[in-house]
Amino acid sequence: MDAERRSFTTLPILGMDRTNFMPGVAAAGVLLLVLVGVVIVLYNEQAYRDAKTQQVEAQSRILASTVTAALAFDDRKAAQEAVNALAVDPQIRAAAVYDAHGDLFASYTGTGGPAVPKAVNDISPAAEREQLVVTTPVRQGSVAVGTIYVQTAIDPISRRFQRYVALTLLVTMAALIFVLLGFAQRRLTEVNERLRRQGEELSDVNENLRAQIEQRENVEATLRQVQKMEAMGQLTGGIAHDFNNLLQVIIGNLEVLRRRNLAPGDDAKRMVDAAIRGGQRAATLTQRLLAFARRQPLDPKPIDVNKLVAGMSELLHRTLGESITIETVLAGGIWRVAADANQLENALLNLAVNARDAMPDGGRLTIETANAHLDEAYADANEVKAGQYALIAVSDTGSGMPPDVVAKAFEPFFTTKDVGKGSGLGLSQVYGFIKQSGGHAKIYSELSQGTTIKLYLPRLTVAADAHDGTLDAAALPAGDRDRLVLVVEDDEDVRAHAVSILTELGYPVLEAVDGASALQLLEAHAEIRMLFTDVGLPGGLNGRQLADEARKRRPELFVLYTTGYARNAIVHQGRLDPGVELITKPFTFSSLATKVNAVFERRDGRGAQAH
Amino acid sequence: MRQKPRSAGGVLRWLLVVAAWSALAAALARAQAPAVEYAVKATDLYKFVPFVEWPPEALPPSDPLVICVVGRDRVSDLVDEAVNGQTSAGHPIRVVHGQSGSLRDAHCNILYVALRGAAAVDALDRVRGQPVLTVTDAAQEPRAAGVVNFVVIDNRVRFEIDQHAAAENHLVISSKLLSLAIRVTPRP
């Protein structure tokens, strides 16, 4: 493409150098031609005149020699005859012979010719251009015996110029050709100039088009990647959600079985424990899938990234081992961000583990923080909003990744590790989490140099409702007989599981399958203290709408949501609304116990807050 | 200031009057009046020279041209005066007056015969065959006429040319002269 363009713009265009030269040459040529023509005409004119003079002189000399005898013997008659002989030349207008005394001796006047002078002394030179006067002495030996006078007309100018017609035509034609050539040259030059300009424009347009195509290709590639990730997110999200519900049922029932019927040391209890562990691992896996699909419920809170990274150093040392040195470079005045602190720690741990795996012989892990600004150009090319971000960069001195691996590194189930050693979900989970948090993740890697993964989290500008969310509970809090819980869940197994846990904890429980029946129960039982509802409900009202409706009637009502993944109804742009309590499925006996108690306690401790 | 041009004009007018008179006199002189006739004939004698070709040995270049005159008439009296100081075709002209008897030794180039009748015939016979241009005046009979014979027609001097006689005398007459002759006797 470059070579083509170059050859096109430097295409030699004929005649360019003679742009201003040619018209001058044409004009000079025409002038020269005309000048030469005039010179030739003048020369011919003079030559004609000379020839005519010579001719007339010859005639007069002949006459002179003819009339010598007549003059010598005073024979006017003979002289007259000799003079009259000139009549054969029609151009001779007058002729005369004068004797030795200068007196007129004989004369001849042609038709229309002038009167001859009376004496030699009266002879005057030619009066007009169109006549020629020649006088010749008549000599007898060395003695002048008289004078001959001959006046001739020369060809009239019109006749003379007839001879120059051909020449004039030639000169005119040549001049015309010159002029035409000049015009043609000028025209050609103009056309060439226009062609050149058009060529330039064309190459500009071409260049423009090429740039546009390139840009479009880039955008399309990015879009394709985004769409691919989106599609995979949809797929994994859908599957994970259903899996989640199924796992809820499996784990829930296994727990009920373990708690109720089995004595410690029993083989059956061991098997149930193993099944529960498997189920929980499966649940973890689906959580990570949901994270990638950006459907994990997040609990974003204002975070000081530096504090978070510093707080992780002990954990990281333990995780990475002695062979890897950890260096943290923390920028001062780092911007605060809003993110789910647990998930962010998870993400950093994920990256650290990946780094460790890339440095089997040891190395250095560097975690840097910085304030960063992503400009429009970078933002457009990377599907992220331009603006201010807090950056956490995790670098290793490991083996690095080739570009094709970098391109796929964020895709789920893509792994370079041996089968069974990696799930292929670590980086995709990080990616999903960062995207869901409104941030941006980027991999820079060089083979045998190392890899840097940069996580950008949007700067927090609005002071968010900050509440310390230490959800840890040491012991399982017992239920309260006065706290009637209404469980709303369309999935019968999940509902039964939830009811059994709550009942076991000591809470009185009512249950409903959809929003409408739940509202009826609320109306009928004023003692209901908590609404524990699935977010996704059939029959017109979803969990959020049900809660809103319930709160209208019972502002003091506690609400706890549960969901496989958070839909828009409960999660605005993937974030939990401030003040909304949520427990994700599959929940365990202890996690539900802790959560329900926490909801009751917090509300009681701080006073009921209308949503 | 006005006096000068008037006096100049007067001089001019006087000159013009003089010129007119002299012109009139010349015209009168050239008129073929009887007195003038003989002078013209005398002058014509040497005027023939350019139109006549003598044999080279008879008239070497720059040798004097001899005009012999025999007899006496009104022309012969004027010859010396007419020829005096003249040259013709590079030849100084000499006039010799003599008798017919001395003609053979006189080396004449031109012989004017101012004689009549038998005397004239005799004189002509004496130079017959010699390179001599014989000239007679108004000879009546052919035998008494020379190569050139003056006649007067309309008061003008004209001449006849006898080519036969010219050939006898080894002379070649120019056609220019012949064209002026009123009569030419052809060669034999």
Domains of chain A (ranges; CATH) run 45-172 (3.30.450.20), 215-291 (1.10.287), 298-458 (3.30.565.10), 484-603 (3.40.50.2300)
State yes or no: pLDDT of A609 exceeds 50. no
**B188 to chain A, closest Cα gap in Å:** 25
Q: What pLDDT score does A25 carry? A: 75
- CB–CB of B50 and A140 under 8 A? yes
- CB–CB of A69 and B51 under 8 A? yes
Q: Which residues contact B96 (CB under 8 A, 6 or more apart)?
A: B66, B67, B68, B69, B106, B108
**A65 to chain B, closest Cα gap in Å:** 9
Which of these, A196, A201, A204, A199, lies nearest to A19 by C-alpha position? A196
Residue B26, in any domain of the structure: no
Distance CA A323, CA A280 (A): 32
Please give the single-letter amino acid code of residue A531. Answer: L
pLDDT in tens, A512-550: 988 888 888 888 888 888 999 887 787 778 888 888 888
Which residue's entry shows tokens 């209208």?
Answer: A552
Torsion (CA) A114, A117, A118, A120 in degrees, nearest 10: -160
Residue B12, in any domain of the structure: no
Judged by CB atoms within 8 Å, which residues 64-83 of A form the interface with B?
Answer: 65-66, 68-70, 72-75, 78
Confidence grade of residue B111 (pLDDT, cut at 50, 70, 90): very high
Q: What pLDDT score does A9 carry? A: 44
Q: What pLDDT score does A212 carry? A: 93
C-alpha count within 13 angstroms, C-beta hemisphere, residue A447: 4
Average pLDDT of span A189-204: 93
pLDDT in tens, A271-296: 888 898 888 888 888 887 777 776 77
Chain A interface disruption, residue of B47, B156, B159, most A CBs within 10 A: B47
Ramachandran area for residue B172 (φ above 0: left; ψ -120 to 50: alpha; else beta):
beta
CB-CB contact of A587 with A595 (8 Å): yes
**A87 to chain B, closest Cα gap in Å:** 19
State yes or no: pLDDT of B106 exceeds 90. no
State yes or no: pLDDT of A466 exceeds 60. no
User: What's the whole-number average pLDDT of chain A?
Assistant: 81
The count of structural domains within chain B is 1
State yes or no: pLDDT of A10 exceeds 90. no
Which range among A120-129, A253-262, B25-34, B78-87 shows the weakest confidence by mean pLDDT? B25-34
CB-CB contact of A457 with A390 (8 Å): yes
CATH of the domain at B93: 3.40.50.2300
The answer to whether A260 contacts chain B (CB < 8 Å) is no
Chain A interface disruption, residue of B179, B182, B184, most A CBs within 10 A: B179
Which range among A15-19, A511-515, B8-12 shows the weakest confidence by mean pLDDT? A15-19
State yes or no: pLDDT of A384 exceeds 50. yes
The two structure tokens encoding residue A144: 């002048």
DSSP-derived pairing of the beta strands B156-162 and A558-563: unpaired
Residue A101: list chain B partners with CB under 8 A.
Answer: 26
Q: What percentage of chain B has pLDDT greater than the value 70?
A: 85
Average pLDDT of span A200-221: 91
pTM greater than the 0.90 cutoff: no
State yes or no: pLDDT of A16 exceeds 60. no
- CB–CB of B51 and A141 under 8 A? no
CB-CB contact of A490 with A537 (8 Å): yes
- CB–CB of B51 and A70 under 8 A? no
**Can you give the length of chain A in residues?**
611
Residue B27, in any domain of the structure: no
The two structure tokens encoding residue A381: 């090319």
- CB–CB of B179 and A69 under 8 A? yes
The two structure tokens encoding residue A33: 């031609």
Q: What pLDDT score does A208 carry? A: 94
State yes or no: pLDDT of A117 exceeds 80. yes
Residue of B29 and A103 predicted with greater confidence: A103
Residue A68: list chain B partners with CB under 8 A.
Answer: 50, 176
Residue B36, in any domain of the structure: no
Residue B153, in any domain of the structure: yes
Q: What pLDDT score does A419 carry? A: 59
Chain B interface disruption, residue of A74, A138, A145, most B CBs within 10 A: A74
State yes or no: pLDDT of B184 exceeds 80. yes
**B169 to chain A, closest Cα gap in Å:** 22
State yes or no: pLDDT of A55 exceeds 60. yes
State yes or no: pLDDT of A13 exceeds 50. no
Which range among A205-219, A416-430, A504-518 shows the weakest confidence by mean pLDDT? A416-430
Average pLDDT of span A268-273: 84
Per the DSSP assignment, residues forming a β-bridge with A149 are A96, A135
Q: Which residues contact A590 (CB under 8 A, 6 or more apart)?
A: A476
**A75 to chain B, closest Cα gap in Å:** 7
Please give the single-letter amino acid code of residue B149. Answer: N
State yes or no: pLDDT of A416 exceeds 60. yes
DSSP-derived pairing of the beta strands A104-109 and A92-99: antiparallel
Eight-class DSSP state of A585: S
Residue B24, in any domain of the structure: no
The answer to whether A105 contacts chain B (CB < 8 Å) is no
- CB–CB of A74 and B26 under 8 A? no
- CB–CB of B47 and A66 under 8 A? no
Q: Which range marks the domain in which residue B74 is found?
A: 41-185
- CB–CB of A69 and B30 under 8 A? no
State yes or no: pLDDT of A61 exceeds 50. yes
In this complex, the residue of A69, A74, A101 whose CB is nearest that of residue B176 is: A69
The answer to whether B183 contacts chain A (CB < 8 Å) is no
Residue B13, in any domain of the structure: no
**B130 to chain A, closest Cα gap in Å:** 25
* 3-state secondary structure (DSSP) of residue A454: strand
The two structure tokens encoding residue A516: 């409408």
Please give the single-letter amino acid code of residue B170. Answer: H
Q: Work out the burial of residue B3: count CB atoms within 10 Å of its CB; fewer than 13 is exposed, 13-18 middle, 19 or more buried.
A: exposed
**A128 to chain B, closest Cα gap in Å:** 30
Distance CA A389, CA A394 (A): 16
The answer to whether B43 contacts chain A (CB < 8 Å) is no
Which range among A72-76, A270-274, A525-529, B99-103 shows the weakest confidence by mean pLDDT? B99-103
Q: What pLDDT score does A6 carry? A: 44
**A58 to chain B, closest Cα gap in Å:** 18
Residue B123, in any domain of the structure: yes
The answer to whether B177 contacts chain A (CB < 8 Å) is yes
Residue B174: list chain A partners with CB under 8 A.
Answer: 69
Q: What pLDDT score does B166 carry? A: 92
Contacts across the A-B interface (CB distance below 8 Å): 39
The answer to whether B90 contacts chain A (CB < 8 Å) is yes
- CB–CB of B176 and A75 under 8 A? no
